[in-house]
Structure 1
Amino acid sequence: MSNCQPTFQRIGMLGGTFDPVHLGHLRSAVELHEALGLKRLHMIPAPQPPLRGEPRVAPETRLALLQAGIGDTPGLVADDRELHRAGPSYSADTLAELREQYGDQARLMMVVGHDAFLKLAQWHAPRRLFELAHVVVIDRPGYNDPLPGELRELLGEREVDSVSELMRHAKGGLLRLSLPSRMAISATGIRHRLAAGQSVRYLVPEAVERLIIQKALYRNE
């Protein structure tokens, strides 16, 4: 009689404005794919993020840049599902769609950066996020400040210490994950460079740079 535990699909969701996508985004995505043992990481551009300002370029253009940046990278998917939705992009709605797509037993993970994590209690239907998925935080080295009270209340006893512990359940957990490569690249800095006519070579993939130049994007930051 086998003692092997059943293996369930591991699916990740990484949302953002990707305005524009850069090598920091993409390297983090590859390292997340490896660290979490994901079958697929859905990278999902938000047309209108509720807690951020209006992105500089149209959602369809940011999707095209993301597709160019990902290219043929195994396991990474440029997912356009939020572009077909009217109004603000709510992560809970996207997770609900992914949960329906992959089934109740899939290990579904929403990945957020440290800054977004600190505002998690302010998100739309924050408790629903944990009813649908795990939350994985890309931790920042040296950031050990106390969490806001509202966030501590939301998290309760959800945090675990390892990927294997997180994978025991399909949803409801929290894992803070440190990635090997922390690239100090910002989309804001890239936009400023482009507006000033400066080079962004080696900050974005070559295919993304070509599209930006071809479409004359971010000229008037």
Structure 2
Amino acid sequence: MSEHKSLQALFGGTFDPIHYGHLQPAEALAKLAGLQKITLMPNNVPPHRPQPEASAAQRIKMVELAIAGNPLFNIDLREMQRDTPSYTFETLEALRAERGKQQPLAFIIGQDSLLTLHKWHRWQELLTLCHLLVCKRPGYDSKLETPELQRWLEEHQADTAEILHRQTAGRIFMADTPLVSISATEIRERRHRGDACEDLLPAAVLAYIDDQGLYRNADPRGILRR
């Protein structure tokens, strides 16, 4: 029987709205990496992108509806309680302080985020706090921007998931998750056009979107909000 603590994984995002492109790769990742729990962390003020179209309360509700009855997922609302931009480093620093030095922690990102990780706040220190679990994304480059960044990736890459459970932080696991070509932008644009979205997100989430009248109107400036 292992004396190691179970690897805990965190998955942040705007979730505007949450959809199968978030959920299906996360479920596949759980099997590949031996995860018992994935904590979804919706953020209030994302630092690198426009403000969400749905309110914080609406996005929280959509996440709750999407994961209802699924024991793999839970939700952490700490980033929703901030009025300032949510930086991953600061969130992970707080979580590391709460959970202790011996707890293996991982942060889930998409391949698109890995490619721009070097633009994140204190990105080079992230691996002192956690592992990175990277899910494939359709159409994104598999190599980083410069030879130096690529070398950094290769130096930290985990060949197997087993090491993620034995070390508390410091590794990058490139997960062979299914390529799910769905984006929240596509869902919002379909809604603006009045197109169907049933195949893109859970029925309970879509029913809530309809009930709230979300993503129905174009941006007042005459362009689609992204």
1:3-32 C-alpha deviation (Å, 9 max, x unpaired) = x65221210011111111111211122222
Q: CA deviation at 1:46?
A: 1.5
1:69-90 C-alpha deviation (Å, 9 max, x unpaired) = 1111112012211011121111
Q: 1:176 aligns with which of 174, 180, 185?
A: 174
Give the counterpart letter for 1:152 in structure 2: Q
SS in 1 for 2:166: coil
Q: 2:162 aligns with which of 156, 164, 170?
A: 164
SS in 2 for 1:147: coil
User: What residue number does 1:50 align with?
Assistant: 47
User: What residue number does 1:209 align with?
Assistant: 206
Q: CA deviation at 1:151?
A: 2.9
Q: CA deviation at 1:39?
A: 2.8
Q: 1: CA distance between counterparts of 2:106 and 2:175?
A: 12
Q: Is the 8 A contact 1:121 1:154 kept in 2?
A: no
Can you give the 5+ residue segments of structure 1 that lack an aligned partner in the other structure?
none
Q: Is the 8 A contact 1:12 1:110 kept in 2?
A: yes
The alignment-based identity, stated in percent, is 35
* CA shift in 2, pair 1:100/1:208, >3 Å: same
1:136-169 C-alpha deviation (Å, 9 max, x unpaired) = 1113478665312363365462112110133331
Whether 1:103 aligns to 2:100 is yes
Q: CA deviation at 1:100?
A: 2.6
Give the counterpart letter for 2:163 in structure 1: E
Q: Is the 8 A contact 2:45 2:82 kept in 1?
A: no
Q: Is the 8 A contact 1:130 1:171 kept in 2?
A: yes
Q: 1:186 aligns with which of 168, 176, 183?
A: 183
Q: 2: CA distance between counterparts of 1:205 and 1:24?
A: 11
Q: 1: CA distance between counterparts of 2:189 and 2:137?
A: 24
Q: Is the 8 A contact 2:19 2:184 kept in 1?
A: yes
Q: Is the 8 A contact 2:164 2:171 kept in 1?
A: yes
Q: Is the 8 A contact 1:12 1:109 kept in 2?
A: yes
Give the counterpart letter for 2:101 in structure 1: D
User: What residue number does 2:69 align with?
Assistant: 72
Q: Is the 8 A contact 1:140 1:178 kept in 2?
A: no
Give the counterpart letter for 1:190 in structure 2: I
Whether 1:62 aligns to 2:51 is no
SS in 2 for 1:157: helix
* CA shift in 2, pair 1:103/1:22, >3 Å: same
Q: CA deviation at 1:125?
A: 0.8
TM-score in terms of structure 1 length: 0.90
Q: Is the 8 A contact 1:194 1:200 kept in 2?
A: yes
Can you give the 5+ residue segments of structure 2 that lack an aligned partner in the other structure?
219-226
Q: CA deviation at 1:128?
A: 2.2
Q: 2: CA distance between counterparts of 1:156 and 1:79?
A: 31
Q: Is the 8 A contact 2:138 2:179 kept in 1?
A: no
RMSD, aligned α-carbons: 1.9
SS in 2 for 1:112: strand
Number of positions where the alignment pairs a residue of Structure 1 with one of Structure 2 = 217
SS in 1 for 2:155: coil
SS in 1 for 2:9: strand
* CA shift in 2, pair 1:211/1:143, >3 Å: closer
Give the counterpart letter for 1:12 in structure 2: A
Matching of residues 66-145 of structure 1 within 5 Å: 66-140=63-137, 145=142
Q: Is the 8 A contact 2:44 2:80 kept in 1?
A: yes
